[in-house]
């Protein structure tokens, strides 16, 4: 069950952007939100970067400010058309994240920004396995998404957000242990930072190996 707001927020980019702007206030606004995963990275400009589930290209734009070789992938052709218009300096692919049309060991960095909560547990597992396959050894998988709040003051906000804009899969992610799932695939070490009373998690998971 989900509210009418969810399809509307996908149909109208301004509504999606407004929801993002409001929900990112606790971390300092949408610009800051888009920098959380990128800021700590020490990769060179020439790194091969994938913005997985890139949507309309806002996160892709933030990556392009820092890197010269950025690919955006999304299952929705309409999202990719918006991303191409907003951030033409990246290249794009319409594909399922569960079966990416890339060779193994292709990317130094894969970013998945606020998309895993839309996946069923089975899809999430497939996507993380695929990310492992297309990451180079010593590459980084950077994930930003919902998390179970440790501060009880943030529970009403996350409940309202999920009930209005999300589906059952968001609750499944909030109840899951993403770090344990990544470790089971082989990722490590994994760095975690929590924001907004713990309701937002940022993870940097390294694929073992040498550059
Ligand atoms: C909430 S949006 C996030 C967009 C962007 N990363 C951001 O931070 O604003 C989730 C995106 O995931 C895409 N998506 C959902 N399931 C997918 C799948 N199986 N493979 C690829 N993209 C998918 C949707 O089309 C949508 O654009």
Tens-digit pLDDT profile for residues 65-106: 999 999 999 999 999 999 999 999 999 999 999 999 999 999
Q: Is the CB of 59 under 6 A from ligand 1?
A: yes
Q: Is the CB of 37 under 6 A from ligand 1?
A: no
Mean pLDDT score, 162-188: 94
Position 40 scores a pLDDT of 96
- Band of the pLDDT at 142, cuts 50, 70, 90? very high
Q: Is the CB of 76 under 6 A from ligand 1?
A: yes
Position 117 scores a pLDDT of 95
Position 6 scores a pLDDT of 67
Mean pLDDT score, 140-167: 89
What is the DSSP code string of 84-137? HHH-TTSEEEE--TTS-SS-TT-EEEEEEES-GGGS-HHHHHHHHHHHHHHEEE
Does position 1 have pLDDT exceeding 60, yes or no?
Answer: no
Q: Is the CB of 170 under 6 A from ligand 1?
A: no
Mutation pick for ligand 1 pocket among 24, 31, 75 (CB with most ligand atoms within 8 Å): 75
- Band of the pLDDT at 12, cuts 50, 70, 90? low
Q: Is the CB of 48 under 6 A from ligand 1?
A: no
How far is the C-alpha of 109 from the C-alpha of 205, rounded, in Å? 10
What ranges make up the beta strands (E) of the chain?
48-52, 69-74, 91-94, 107-113, 135-146, 190-195, 200-206
Taking all residues of the chain, what is their mean pLDDT, rounded to a whole number?
A: 92
| Residue closest by Cα to atom 25 of ligand 1 | 76
Does position 21 have pLDDT exceeding 80, yes or no?
Answer: no
**Dihedral sign of CA atoms 117, 123, 128, 130 in order:** negative
Position 19 scores a pLDDT of 65
Class of CATH domain 5-206: alpha beta
Residue with the bigger pLDDT between 5 and 145: it is: 145
Mean pLDDT score, 37-49: 97
Q: Are 109 and 47 in contact (CB under 8 A)?
A: yes
Q: Any idea which of 8-22, 64-78, 153-167, 197-211 has the lowest mean pLDDT?
A: 8-22
Burial of 23 (0-12, 13-18, 19+ CB in 10 A): buried
Sheet with 48-52, edge to edge strand ranges: 91-94, 69-74, 48-52, 107-113, 135-146, 200-206, 190-195
- Give the atom of ligand 1 at the shortest distance from the alpha carbon of 20: 9
Mean pLDDT score, 176-185: 98
pTM (predicted TM-score): 0.91
Domains of the chain, by residue range, sit at 5-206
DSSP 178: H
Q: Residue 53 Cα, ligand 1 centroid: separation in angstroms?
A: 4
Mean pLDDT score, 4-33: 72
Q: Residue 13 Cα, ligand 1 centroid: separation in angstroms?
A: 13
Position 99 scores a pLDDT of 98
């Amino acid at each position: 069950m989900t509210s009418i707001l969810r399809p509307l927020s996908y149909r109208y980019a301004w509504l999606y952007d407004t929801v993002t702007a409001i929900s990112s206030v606790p971390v300092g606004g949408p610009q800051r939100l888009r920098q959380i995963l990128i800021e700590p990275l020490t990769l060179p400009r020439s790194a091969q970067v994938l913005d997985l589930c890139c949507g309309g290209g806002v996160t892709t734009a933030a990556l392009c400010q820092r890197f010269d070789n950025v690919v955006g992938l999304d299952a929705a052709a309409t999202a990719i058309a918006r991303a191409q218009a907003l951030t033409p300096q990246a290249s794009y692919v319409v594909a399922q994240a569960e079966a990416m049309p890339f060779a193994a060991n292709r990317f130094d960095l894969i970013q998945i920004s606020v998309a895993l909560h839309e996946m069923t547990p089975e899809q999430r597992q497939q996507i993380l396995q695929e990310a492992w396959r297309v990451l180079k050894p010593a590459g980084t998988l950077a994930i930003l998404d919902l998390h179970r709040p440790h501060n009880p003051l943030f529970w009403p906000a996350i409940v309202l957000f999920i009930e209005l804009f999300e589906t059952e899969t968001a609750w499944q992610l909030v109840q899951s242990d993403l770090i344990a799932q990544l470790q089971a695939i082989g990722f490590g070490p994994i760095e975690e930072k929590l924001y907004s009373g713990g309701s937002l998690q940022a993870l940097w998971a390294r694929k073992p190996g040498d550059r």
